[in-house]
Structure 1
Amino acid sequence: MIPELLIKYRWALIAILMAALAWAVYLLPGTRISQNFSTYFPDEDPDLELYHKMIAELGDEDNLLSVVVNKKSTIFDSIFLKKFHQFTHAARELPHVANAHSLTTLNEPRKTPFGVLTDPLIHFENPESYTSDSLRLIRDNRIKGRLFSKDFQSLVVILEFEKELSSNLSEPIISSIEELSMIFGFEIHMMGRKYFEVTYNRISNKELKKSLALCLGLMILMLGFLYRSVWAVVLPVLVFVFSVILFLGFLVWIDHPLDSMTNLAPTILLIVSISDVIHFFSKYESRIKAGDDKQTALTITIQKIGLALILTSFTTAIGFLTLMTSSLPNMRKFGVEIAAGVVITFLVTMILVPFVLHAISKDSIHLRTDWFHWWERRAAAIWRIINSRPQWIIRTVLLLVAISAFGLTRINTNNFFNSSVPKGHTFNQAVDFCEEHLAGVRTFEIALLPKRGLTLNDINVLKEVEKLHTYIDSLPLVNAVVSPVTYYQTLNRSWHGGNENKYVLPENQQEINRLERRFEKSGNSAFQTVVNQKKSFGKISGRMNDIGRQKVYDLNDQVQVWIDENMDKALLDVRIIGASAMADKIQEHAIRNMFTGLGWALLVVSLLIFLLYRDWKIVLVVLAVNVLPLLITGAIMALLGLELKFGTSIIFTIGFVIAVDDTIHFIGRYLRERADQSVEAACKTTILETGRAMLLTSIVLFFGFAQLITSGFQEAKSVGILVSIMLVFALLVDLFVAPLLILRLKDR
């Protein structure tokens, strides 16, 4: 019924497809690339609410941009300092910049005989003060490594952007800063989340174009090599291109921007389109060789392959929809988008391929004869090995399972902040510079929440904070530590005319209250980001190098043990929090969600296979041949030292849907052949016929994924390496293990 309708109404269906394509092309100029990292934070994490409270109360450090001006010689040069001061003011005037701070613009209050006055942190217009300024600054841990480098050869401008600045405005701001630095003749490095987002977007834009071009190029090359037919090349390319255009148009229509994850979409759609079309070609060619006319061959092909295509598309979509169980919003978004892309690709295949095959000569699609005969010999050899050496196959599988199980325990989860960006990129250069010369690129933050109605200006609470501040400051890994203690120490020193010996907490509550009254109007905004206006919430903030997630966890555990043993929790609640801590949470949730999603995918596919075939033995075969490639890939990931993190955890979902697709085609063909033949004959025919299509699909997909090795994103590069390897093992398992399991289970 359906095959006849697809052929009968092919013109109406192709008209609908062309109209949808025109609509998608019309929408394409609205495609956006955005890397908003707030969408990566886990929804239900208990620390997320506290993190949002910290942002609301103390400001968002992710809304700041550090612009490092590297002089490469001493900054104590009056001409340079004046020029740098002008640069700071010019940066403040840029659109969407709310404020700009630097060493030349900040002042400290001082008690003088004439009242409370302000004194510059550096007297840049008075060279006679440079020596005393440098001696004072080098002892000031609040700003050393934040506003100037340890060697006094670089200065930092901290730009504060307007609140809730949209991602699409970040690019012109960063470009304006780059242009401004060129006007002033400064060599700069930038650091901050906005710059990271812009860097990701720039690379994403470039990588998306390159990925599409390489996918198409390699697809054309491999199909041309395997088939002696123009249409055998043109038709899969058309299915792929139409699917990608419709997919991108769909994203614009639902207002979803592209990000680093959706850059994988073209490659994933390549998997689906190539697999569908080659299996269609294989069945259609076999019917033509059997002597069917074009109409009959198409009808039988749609009838026989259609169910398998529906099932593989459904299971692939389900595989990605299991990402909806993730606690990470962006992972859920990715799952829905790719599931929609799979459905789009299936519809394009079922409309376009029958239409074109009906329009062209029936002999237009044919595999190279030498390849055909070559595969006949290989298929016969595979069948001989299955029959003559079953124990060898079983022992090999058990050995691989044992090795993989061990390898999985060695997977590297010690993620680094800048490991995604290409080595040598200006972003990585900035990270290296900031880690070597400044206080580091990672934040280390601890939220301070007074209890029993107390506030952070209570002397007893402050003494508790001081204990923790002193401990954190003693840690070799943490630099430039500031806290409410810093604020009151600064006020106390200012009250005593800048006497460094008075850089301590006031002695009693009366002194604290007096200092607050005296300096209430003097302002000290650069340091008040550690305590809110009501003194009901604050934080200890430090900087550190990117030492890897595992070492950070060890540091957090060490600090937490100290807190539990030394802090009075009746006065103060303290919790390790902050943007870097939340980024670590993303990786933790991604890895956990990967296992959850795979579990759901395996369960749903198992239920679907059982409902369709009503045979638990078939379910067992499907599970065995789909889990084994995943285990092997995990072990190879450990062997190569590739990081398992947010971007690479998707590898296992991609690998699962690839393995399931081929297995369903294999099982479907076996069961159709089994209706007329013995188990042995059905397995042999399936290896010969479906195995050929699986091999062709795997070859094309191997090179389609291998092109990702050239990607600038380390995650995409890892996906390219691992999925290419997974394709090889999935094919081998389907060709050797699936038939062996079927033979072993036939009498049970």
Structure 2
Amino acid sequence: MTNLSILKKVCIVLFIVLGVASASILGDLKFSFDFSQFFPEEDPDLEFYMEFVDEFGTDDNFLLIAVENQPTIFDQEFLERFKAFSAASQKFEFVTESASLTSLSYPLKTSLGYTTLPIVHIQDSLAYKQDWEKIKEDGLFINFLIEQKANSTVVALRTQDDLDYKQSERLLAQIRTSLKNHKLSNYHILGRAFFLEAIVEMQKSEVLKTSIIAAILVLIILLLVYRSLPLVLISMASISLSLIIFMGILALWGKELNAMAAFYPVLMLIVGTSDVIHVTDSFIRKIQSGKNRYAAIQSSLKEVGLTTLLTSVTTAIGFTTLLSSRLVSIQEFGINAAIGVLVAYITVIFFTGSLLISIPKKKLLGRKSISKRWVNYLLEINTFTKKNPRSILIGTAVFTGLCLWGISLISTNYEFKRTLPNKSEIASDFEYFQTNYAGFRPLEVAVMAQGNYSVLDFSVVLEIEKLMDHLKTYPSIGNLQSSNLPFKIVHKANNLNKSEFLTLPEKEPTFESYKRDVQRLARRQLERFVNTDRTMARINGKLQDIGTDSLKSVYQKIESFALTQLDTSKIKVKVTGKSMLLDKNSEYIRASLLEGLFYGLLLIGIIMVLVFRNFKMFIISLIPNILPILFAGSVLGFLNIPLEASLSVVFAIVFGIAVDDTIHFLGKYKLGITQGLTQEESLEKTFAHTGRALVITTIILFFGFMVMLFSIHQPSITIGLIISVTLVTALILDLLLLPVLIRKMLKEE
């Protein structure tokens, strides 16, 4: 006892020190959001895109500020304020280029050379109608720099590549201050910096909110279950400490928390609570039977310590199955969650165990620590399984069939707007640009000259124009620009700025003569679309958020057109860009999901065989744990929820946690058999002793994940809902199906 007393004090002091140290560095936690986190690794399209970026830079380095004015922007006082803001934007930090209707102009070729004409004659309100007619005739700025009803106009900023969170905050602060100074209050912003700011702010809010709500929820449930304040405080202290230590490890490790970070507090709280309940329930039962605290903790750790370790390992394995994903963000979530599970286990075993033996017996026990009604209800369930095995098996078969049907309905046509915080400024602005402009998703098409051709050869330019004409036929594509645009503008300038001449010249000599003018007047613009050795050109535009499957169909049609309708001896065409790479996720989610779950089942199977030394036990454990995964998939299908990257964690969480109940159930059953009990006696003991803990932990898991319904992040709401109902299903299967399978497959000799 003396050794245990010393160890108890050492453990308590050690974990308190670790907790304080972890809490002191929580301020160093980093939050980030980068679309590249969702790119599939080791993908040939990703490799091509990285080469494309080396040539042209990233395709999301833009920020659009749309300013509304009713009934029209063609109001002199408004245009003067807007022009002043547009001019000021050119000096914003991290901005490399600024464009608007008030800063751009039409070039015009005269007998004296080139001159420019304003797009909007701000000082001459009588010319506004003619200016607007000219803009509509050209069509160049519609849905790009001006809305088609002239209710708003845009300042388009090009920023430095890959701004981080702090840089984005500084830039947006300058923009908002300038808008306020110029009395432009009705505005909408869209772009990478704005997304980064909004998503990171959401992550911080979600982590804090879910932590508080989940902690309150666990506290209430524990009070209702144990009716003992010291016992509840011990449990909450242990769970909270494990969460703090885990977050401290992430901070010390320098890990950047992405959009999945909101799940960490919930996972740690509910997984830690599950471990605490199993250990505490066993400990209370021992001291109620008359054992002293030290003997009770030793007996409890021997009885449930191994199964709790086993459940922690299998849960961690469930999360490590996410390593099979090609998405970095999902891989990191899997690793971090697995570490968190093990941190929770170590904290519960050493810290909770130490606290339990530090509190007098009378203070630990509540008025009704273990109700006899629990035992009676659970034994009735056992009796039901004994009397109705055939009905349960038939019901399971029907349930499996329904799940398979639901899985067949799963869609991957995911819309980007679902990732945005509900009813937020960014969601509102995103919808505004979707409705009134060409959208947000960038489209990039790489055009590669073949053989000795250059992308500025006239015959190649004509092929590019054919492709441009084809792209304009897609309703989901807008704001198209290419290396041909500077030549069209020069051609128009050489023809009295008439809109009908905003085309390529018909003859090659004319085109060749324009090259010198383009190099002199629009070289910077041309360099954005053509690489230095003239072997590659880009076409870029904007895509409507019509769903990943629909967009993949568009990409395929574009490349098919290029192969069949263009001269492939001169050019090769490839769709690329961040949007296309994000849309490729769905191709890998199903495959990586199945691959990861297969390896997870294999590893857990090996562990189960080694622990129980009975292959039939592995088969028995497998069935109730595959069905919840099928059920989770069927929920997606029946509710028409598209499968996307973040939802893939549902299956790892369900798989990792659902198997815990099975292990606790089979572990208790095996213990009864080794103690000489008959099969029925072992099942009765398992229901009476372990069944209660399983029900309580599932209740906590259910409400713990339901906390995600308070989220403003739609994928988090979906994940919380699916996991909650699926884990209840897993418990029902364990309590009803496991006893039937045990009786059928492990018949007593």
1:171 and 2:169 matched: yes
Structure 2 residue identity aligned to 1:199: A
User: How many Å apart are 1:282 and its aligned residue?
Assistant: 1.4
Q: Given the alignment of the two structures, is residue 689 of structure 1 paired with residue 689 of structure 2, yes or no?
A: yes
How many correspondences in the alignment? Answer: 746
2:612 and 2:575 mapped to 1: Cα distance? Answer: 52
The aligned counterpart of 2:581 is 582
Aligned 8 A contact 2:59 2:444 in 1? no
2:65 maps to 67
Whole-angstrom distance in 1 between the partners of 2:411 and 2:6: 55
Query: Which structure 2 residues correspond to residues 120-269 of structure 1 after superposition, within 5 A?
Result: 120-186=118-184, 187-269=186-268
Matched, 1:637 2:636: yes
- Verify the 8 A CA contact 2:234 2:356 in the aligned structure 1: no
Aligned pairs for 1:520-539 within 5 A? 520-523=519-522, 525=524, 529-539=528-538
Residue deviations 1:360-385 (CA, integer Å, cap 9, x gap): 01244447639622211211211111
Whole-Å Cα distance in 2 between the matches of residues 195 and 66 of structure 1? Answer: 10
Inter-CA distance 139–536: structure 2 relative to 1 (3 Å threshold): farther
CA positional deviation for 1:295? 1.2
User: Which position in structure 1 is the counterpart of 2:86?
Assistant: 88
Question: Hey, what does 1:699 align to over in structure 2?
Answer: 699
Q: What residue is the counterpart of 2:19 in the other structure? A: 21
Change (3 A) 1:557 1:431: same
Aligned residue for 1:342, secondary structure, equals helix
Which residue of structure 1 aligns with residue 416 of structure 2?
417
Bigger mean CA deviation after superposition, 356-365 or 655-664? 356-365
Question: CA offset at residue 217 of structure 1?
Answer: 0.7
Q: 2: CA distance between counterparts of 1:5 and 1:404?
A: 54
The CA distance in 1 between the partners of 2:260 and 2:234, in whole Å, is: 27
| C-alpha contact 1:281 1:365 (8 A) present in aligned 2 | no
Partner Cα separation in structure 2 for residue 699 and residue 294 of structure 1: 28
Closer, same or farther: CA 4–347 of 1 in aligned 2, 3 Å: farther
Distance (Å, rounded) in 2 between the aligned partners of 1:489 and 1:43: 39
Cα distance in 1 for partners of 2:109, 2:698 equals 77
Map of 1:449 onto structure 2: 448
CA distance in 1, matches of 2:66, 2:463: 35
Q: What secondary structure does 1:103 align onto?
A: coil
Q: Supply the distance in 2 between the matched residues of 1:582 and 1:338 (Cα, whole angstroms).
A: 26
**Which residue number corresponds to residue 461 of structure 1?**
460
* Counterpart residue number, 1:39: 37
Contact 2:434/2:440 (8 A) holds in 1: yes
Q: Distance in 2 between matches of 1:619 and 1:6?
A: 36
Q: Which moved more, 1:171-180 or 1:349-358?
A: 171-180
Structure 2 distance, partners of 1:67, 1:478, is 20
Change (3 A) 1:8 1:618: farther
SS of corresponding position for 2:357: helix
Cα distance in 1 between the residues matched to 2:62 and 2:454: 27
The answer to whether the 8 A contact 2:12-2:355 is kept is: no
Q: CA deviation at 1:141?
A: 3.6
Alpha-carbon distance between aligned partners in 2 of 1:32 and 1:742, rounded to the nearest angstrom: 49
Using the TM superposition, give the Cα deviation of residue 593 of structure 1 relative to its aligned residue in structure 2, in angstroms.
2.3
Structure 2 CA distance for aligned equivalents of residues 63 and 699 of structure 1: 46
CA distance in 1, matches of 2:326, 2:203: 24
Q: CA deviation at 1:7?
A: 5.6
Aligned counterparts of 1:214 and 1:693: Cα–Cα separation in 2: 22
2:628 and 2:726 in contact (8 A); partners too: yes
Shift of 1:527: 6.5
Give the Cα separation in 2 of the matches to 1:233 and 1:140.
72
Q: Distance in 1 between matches of 2:660 and 2:574?
A: 47
Counterpart residue number, 2:737? 737
Aligned partner of 2:476 in structure 1 is 477
Which 10-residue stretch deviates more, 473-482 or 5-14? 5-14
Deviation at 1:43, TM superposition (A): 1.6
Query: What letter is aligned with 1:474?
Result: T
- 1:430-579 aligned at under 5 Å gives the runs 430-523=429-522, 525=524, 529-579=528-578
The answer to whether the 8 A contact 1:36-1:167 is kept is no
CA displacement, residues 33-57 of structure 1 (integer Å, 9 cap, x when unaligned): 2112222212211111222233332
RMSD over aligned Cα atoms: 2.0
1:373 paired with 2:375, answer no
Letter in 1 for 2:723: V
Name the residue aligned to 2:56: 58
1:331 positional shift: 1.4
Structure 1 unaligned blocks of 5 or more: none
**Separation in 1 of the partners of 2:288 and 2:370?**
16
The separation in 1 between residues aligned to 2:699 and 2:502, in whole angstroms, is 70
Question: Counterpart of 1:65 in structure 2: which amino acid?
Answer: L
Residues 659-680 of structure 1: CA distance to partner in whole angstroms, max 9, x if unpaired?
1111111111111111121122
Distance 2:45 2:67 in 1: 35
The 1:4/1:407 distance shift into structure 2, 3 A limit, reads: farther
- Which deviates the most, 21-30 or 51-60? 51-60
Q: Distance in 2 between matches of 1:541 and 1:164?
A: 18
Q: Match of 2:416, SS?
A: coil
Report the Cα offset of residue 416 of structure 1: 0.8
Give the secondary-structure state (helix, strand or coil) at the position aligned to 1:530: coil
CA distance in 2, matches of 1:462, 1:519: 14
Q: CA deviation at 1:405?
A: 0.1
SS of the counterpart of 1:539? strand
Quote the offset at 1:577 in angstroms.
1.6
Does the 8 Å contact 1:116/1:522 carry over to 2?
A: no
Give the C-alpha shift of residue 601 in structure 1: 1.2
* Residue of structure 1 equivalent to 2:303: 304
Is contact 1:219-1:700 (8 Å) kept? yes
In 2, Cα distance between equivalents of 1:527 and 1:606: 60
Q: Distance in 2 between matches of 1:356 and 1:586?
A: 47
Q: 1:8 deviation in Å?
A: 4.5
Matched with 2:285 is: 286
User: Secondary structure at 1:307's aligned position in 2?
Assistant: helix
Quick check: 434-443 or 622-631, which moved more?
A: 434-443
Tell me the SS of whatever aligns to 2:131. Answer: helix
CA distance in 2, matches of 1:666, 1:508: 82
Secondary structure of residue in 2 paired with 1:147: coil
Q: Give the gaps of 5 or more residues in structure 2.
A: none
Q: Using a 3 Å threshold, how does the CA distance of structure 1 residues 526 and 132 change in structure 2: closer, same or farther?
A: farther
- 1:656: which partner in 2? 655
1:215-235 CA deviation, whole Å, 9 max, x = no partner? 111111111111110122112
In structure 1, distance between residues paired with 2:4 and 2:631: 41
CA contact (8 A) 1:141 1:480 kept: no
What do the CA deviations read for 1:334-386 (whole angstroms, capped 9, x no partner)? 11211121121111111211111111012444476396222112112111111
* Amino acid in the other structure paired with 2:608: I
How far residue 567 of structure 1 moved from its aligned partner, in angstroms, is 1.8
Contact 1:109-1:522 at 8 Å conserved across structures: no
Cα distance, 1:745 vs structure 2: 0.5
Shift of 1:293: 1.4
- Please say if residues 222 and 700 of structure 1, whose CA atoms lie closer than 8 Å, have aligned partners that are also in contact: yes
Of the structure 1 ranges 707-716 and 559-568, higher mean CA displacement relative to structure 2 is found in 559-568
Answer yes or no: is the 8 Å Cα contact 1:325–1:596 preserved in 2.
Answer: yes
Give the whole-Å Cα distance in 1 for the aligned partners of 2:158 and 2:545.
Answer: 23
Which residue number corresponds to residue 645 of structure 2?
646
What SS does structure 1 have at the residue aligned with 2:597?
helix
8 Å Cα contact 2:585/2:645 also seen in 1:
yes
Question: Deviation at 1:87?
Answer: 0.6
- C-alpha distance 135-180 of structure 1, shift in aligned 2 (>3 A): same
- Corresponding residue of 1:48: 46
Post-superposition offset of 1:128:
4.4
The structure-2 alpha-carbon separation of the partners of 1:8 and 1:609, relative to structure 1 and needing over 3 Å to count, comes to: farther
Partner residue of 1:113 out of 99, 102, 111: 111
Aligned to 1:346: 345
The Cα shift of 1:126 comes to 3.7
Q: TM-score scaled to structure 1, two decimals?
A: 0.96
Deviations 1:634-661 (A, max 9, x none): 2122222223211221111111111111
Partner SS, residue 448 of structure 1: strand
1:63-92 Cα offsets, whole Å, 9 max, x none, are 111111111322222222121111112223
